[in-house]
């Protein structure tokens, strides 16, 4: 186990004192709950008995960040589109001249040059006992399965996790072989009806060996393990193995402005396409069973539909089904025809389908290659900036850091192929970081950079991080290096990734460090773009010491996949372009969807613009302060919130009603760019909603009495 260490002194210190992704780690742990019933196998009931922790400083890694190649030449050549009323750059203006003007007018110029970092060389059919039967009823496995599926964890899931972790650890310590453990997991998963027999078998085979490998090598109690995986739904258990901090360079933060300037009207802009969560299913079969009892339906293997209404639609289905090839093809053709003036594309991951019990490395690689080929053919000459999703690996969520380098479990099979495929759009300078950790940095235009992060290193379902979660692949320290270099060069940065940093699927310690980085470089990072949730939403960032100062905005794009209860969709952004007063902020964005119900009913899909952000929400700009004002209005204005809720679900006719608890959750999700910290960000908002809900209830009650 190697702790990641960047090249400057002591940058990371270790203290000594939904979307709908399946949390298979907890599922496997649940499956082994009834393996034994003796008290000695239930350490989660005796939390005062803690194992001895022998903390040793891991060996330092030799990867040197500043020795890696950097993208320093503009990657995007501006194109003059005839349908626009402005020119990108005057004909007599070169990139060098434009960059020089930006440098001369910058606000955050440092007084003198300095070394970026210090010199490293300087140092520094089973019958259960009555006890088990009662425990199973107490754990409420149906509720646990629902919470796992929707990434909304409560104490019920926490209890199941602790029980399963304690049982599995007991079986490992008793000397059971891997084959015996996997067979037990399969049997109990099947007999408890957690999933179908083939899903249980596939999950146990795909996930069991890696989970057992990790649990054999960690010294964590069930409390510590489940707090790590579930987060604030399972208490905040202190764990010295997973407490670390990034260290910033000794460069003062530029003075912050009272507010960012509003982008100039009628100025040059970039038109940007954002596609996320395609989840293309090559085995989708029209007319197959869409109402099966497995995590993914609408395949021939799902069986025959019991009723005509249970049959999978031609263009997709609102139930647990992914995207047919014809729908992906039609969407890309529509985009290519409707948006001929796209300047570049953001592609934020999750290409394979949700058949996570039945995936192979070869099949996932084939889907990646086919999809990349299709994007190249549909958008020739258009730069595409991809980010890695959590479904690209097999098994899902399994992304070992570089220190896990054994041939049979290394992730190089995926990263090496990504480097080959992504090289169609990216400069050769990104090879080193893509092959190391699937992250990269590219200078798009003079003064404008895109940084793609591998958010699977914050994924709390990536159980390899249980071995050592300290800045996996040194990604965050590299991120700081890139942002500091960008600040020195007066570059603005857009960050792209898959899992939003404030989502419950992101590790609390990783998210906390990321939040600090965004706060430090708030004058450099002007926008962030993610996917993963499948919904149409956003996340806010604030000064950690002043929640009245919003300093960042993350746009979470809608999914192409309808999985589940959703319409397929994509986003178009308009980004402040090349001119002397450019802010590189998002000027406006549009969400486009296809009504799946009508497409299946009439046999042909129609893609249309659902809404434009500034017009729909009456916003004068899309600065962080404007989004913060919108959040306040959503809290107080029920009619406006219902409009947001409609767009959040991409106008799906299958969307459920939203009560006060639902409203609190959605607004708090928007407010929380830092994961598992709802108490800090949401107490005031929840109090207001509770107060309004109480008034509404009293009004309804008194009105009813009056009418009586």
Q: Which residues are bridge partners to 495 per DSSP?
A: 451, 528
Which H or E element spans position 133? helix 130-139
Q: Is 532 annotated as a binding-site member?
A: yes
Which positions ≥6 away from 49 have C-beta within 8 Å?
43
Instruction: Express each pLDDT in 5-58 by its tens digit.
Output: 444 444 454 444 444 444 455 555 555 444 433 434 444 444 444 444 444 444
pLDDT at 66: 75
pLDDT band at 61, cuts 50/70/90? Answer: low
pLDDT at 102: 66
Phi (first) and psi of residue 610, to 5 degrees: -75, -45
Under 8 Å between Cβ of 326 and 315: yes
Residue burial 644-663, b: 16+ Cβ < 10 Å; e: rest: bbbbbbbbbeebeebeeeeb
Instruction: Express each pLDDT in 650-683 by its tens digit.
Output: 999 999 999 999 999 999 999 989 998 888 888 8
Model confidence at 108: pLDDT above 50: no
Q: How many Å apart are CA 383 and CA 419, to the nearest integer?
A: 15
For range 439-451, the mean pLDDT: 97
For range 540-562, the mean pLDDT: 96
Of residues 629, 509, 656, the one with CA closest to residue 14:
509
Query: Whole-prediction pTM value?
Result: 0.84
Q: Is 277 annotated as a binding-site member?
A: yes
Is residue 354 left, alpha or beta, with left meaning phi > 0 and alpha meaning psi from -120 to 50? alpha
Fold for the domain defined by 269-284+322-659+669-675? Purple Acid Phosphatase; chain A, domain 2 (3.60.21)
For range 134-142, the mean pLDDT: 52
pLDDT band at 110, cuts 50/70/90? Answer: very low
Which positions ≥6 away from 285 have C-beta within 8 Å?
298, 299, 300, 312
Under 8 Å between Cβ of 395 and 431: no
For range 86-98, the mean pLDDT: 62
Averaged pLDDT of the chain: 84
Burial of 168 (0-12, 13-18, 19+ CB in 10 A): buried
The share of the chain scoring above pLDDT 90, in percent, equals 62
pLDDT at 680: 83
For range 224-244, the mean pLDDT: 81
pLDDT at 408: 82
For range 63-79, the mean pLDDT: 80
pLDDT at 141: 53
Q: How many helices (H) and strands (E) does the chain have?
A: 20, 14
Residue with tokens 């928007």: 670
Helical spans, DSSP H, in 192-324: 197-215, 222-230
Which one is predicted more confidently, 96 or 226?
226
The share of the chain scoring above pLDDT 70, in percent, equals 80
Under 8 Å between Cβ of 313 and 596: yes
List the chain domain ranges: 130-233, 269-284+322-659+669-675
Q: How many Å apart are CA 339 and CA 272, to the nearest integer?
A: 10
Of residues 545, 544, 548, 518, the one with CA closest to residue 530:
518
Q: Is 355 annotated as a binding-site member?
A: no
Which one is predicted more confidently, 118 or 170?
170
**Residue 169 to residues 14, 29, 163, 191: CA-CA distances in angstroms?**
26, 10, 10, 21
Which positions ≥6 away from 685 have C-beta within 8 Å?
631, 635, 664, 667, 668, 671
Helical spans, DSSP H, in 347-411: 361-378
38-42, 106-110, 219-223, 297-301: segment of lowest average pLDDT: 38-42
Which one is predicted more confidently, 57 or 395?
395
Instruction: Express each pLDDT in 450-470 by its tens digit.
Output: 999 999 999 999 999 999 999
Instruction: Name the token pair of 508.
Output: 């609390």
Instruction: Express each pLDDT in 464-518 by its tens digit.
Output: 999 999 999 999 999 999 999 999 999 999 999 999 999 999 999 999 999 999 9
């Amino acid at each position: 186990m190697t702790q990641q260490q960047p090249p400057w002194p002591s940058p990371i210190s270790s203290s000594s004192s939904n979307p709908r992704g399946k949390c298979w780690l907890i599922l496997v742990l649940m499956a082994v709950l009834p393996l034994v019933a003796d008290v000695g196998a239930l350490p989660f009931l005796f939390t005062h008995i803690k194992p001895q922790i022998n903390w040793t400083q891991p060996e330092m890694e030799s990867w040197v960040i500043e020795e890696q190649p950097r993208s320093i030449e503009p990657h995007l050549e501006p194109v003059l589109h005839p349908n626009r009323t402005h020119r990108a750059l005057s004909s007599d203006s070169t990139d060098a001249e434009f960059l020089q003007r930006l440098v001369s007018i910058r606000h955050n110029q440092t007084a003198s040059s300095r070394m970026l970092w210090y010199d490293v060389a300087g140092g520094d059919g089973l019958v259960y006992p009555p006890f088990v039967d009662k425990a199973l009823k107490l754990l409420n496995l149906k509720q646990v399965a629902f919470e796992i599926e929707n990434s909304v964890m409560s104490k019920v899931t926490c209890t199941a996790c602790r029980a399963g972790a304690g049982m599995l650890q007991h079986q490992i310590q008793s000397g059971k072989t891997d084959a015996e453990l996997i067979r037990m997991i399969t049997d109990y998963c099947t007999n408890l009806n957690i999933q179908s027999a083939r899903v249980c078998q596939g999950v146990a085979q795909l996930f069991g060996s890696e989970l057992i490998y990790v649990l054999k090598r960690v010294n964590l109690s069930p409390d510590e393990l489940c707090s790590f995986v579930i987060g604030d739904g399972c208490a905040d258990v202190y764990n010295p193995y997973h407490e670390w901090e990034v260290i910033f360079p000794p460069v003062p933060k530029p003075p912050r402005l009272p507010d960012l300037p509003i982008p100039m009207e009628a100025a040059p802009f970039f038109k940007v396409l954002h596609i996320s969560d395609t989840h293309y299913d090559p085995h989708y079969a029209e007319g197959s069973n869409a109402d099966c009892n497995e995590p993914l339906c609408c395949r021939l293997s799902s069986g025959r539909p019991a009723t005509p209404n249970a049959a999978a639609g031609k263009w997709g289905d609102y139930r647990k089904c992914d995207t047919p090839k014809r729908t992906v093809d039609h969407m890309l053709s529509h985009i290519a025809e409707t948006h001929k003036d796209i300047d570049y594309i953001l592609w934020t991951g999750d290409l394979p389908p949700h058949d996570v019990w039945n995936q192979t490395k070869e099949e996932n690689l084939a889907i990646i290659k086919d999809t990349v080929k299709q994007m190249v053919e549909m958008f020739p000459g258009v730069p595409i900036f991809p980010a890695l999703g959590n479904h690209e690996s097999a098994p899902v969520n399994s992304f070992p850091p570089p220190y896990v380098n054994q041939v049979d479990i290394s992730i190089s099979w995926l990263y090496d192929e990504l480097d080959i495929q992504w090289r169609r759009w990216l400069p050769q300078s990104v090879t080193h970081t893509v092959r190391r950790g699937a992250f990269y940095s590219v200078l798009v235009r003079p003064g404008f950079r895109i940084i793609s992060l591998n958010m699977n290193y914050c994924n709390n379902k990536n159980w390899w991080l249980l071995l050592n979660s300290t800045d996996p692949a040194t990604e965050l320290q590299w991120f700081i290096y890139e942002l500091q270099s960008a600040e020195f060069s007066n570059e603005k940065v857009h960050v792209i990734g898959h899992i939003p940093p404030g989502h419950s699927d992101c590790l609390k310690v990783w998210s906390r460090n990321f939040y600090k980085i965004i706060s430090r470089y708030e004058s450099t990072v002007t926008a962030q773009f993610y996917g993963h949730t499948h919904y149409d939403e956003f996340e806010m960032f604030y000064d950690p010491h002043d929640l009245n100062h919003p300093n960042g905005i993350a746009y979470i794009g809608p999914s192409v996949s309808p999985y589940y209860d959703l319409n397929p969709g994509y986003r178009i952004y308009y980004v402040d372009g090349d001119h002397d007063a450019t802010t590189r902020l998002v000027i406006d964005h549009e969400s486009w969807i296809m009504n799946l119900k009508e497409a299946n009913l009439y046999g042909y899909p129609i893609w249309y613009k659902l809404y434009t952000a500034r017009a729909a929400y009456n916003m004068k700009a899309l600065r962080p302060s404007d989004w913060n004002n919108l959040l306040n209005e959503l809290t107080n204005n029920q009619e406006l919130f219902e409009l947001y809720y409609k767009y959040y679900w991409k106008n799906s006719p299958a969307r459920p009603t939203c009560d006060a608890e639902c409203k609190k959750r959605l607004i708090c999700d928007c407010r929380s760019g830092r994961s598992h910290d709802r108490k800090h960000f949401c107490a005031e908002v929840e109090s207001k909603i509770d107060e309004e809900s109480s008034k509404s209830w009293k009004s309804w009650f008194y009105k009813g009495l009056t009418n009586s």
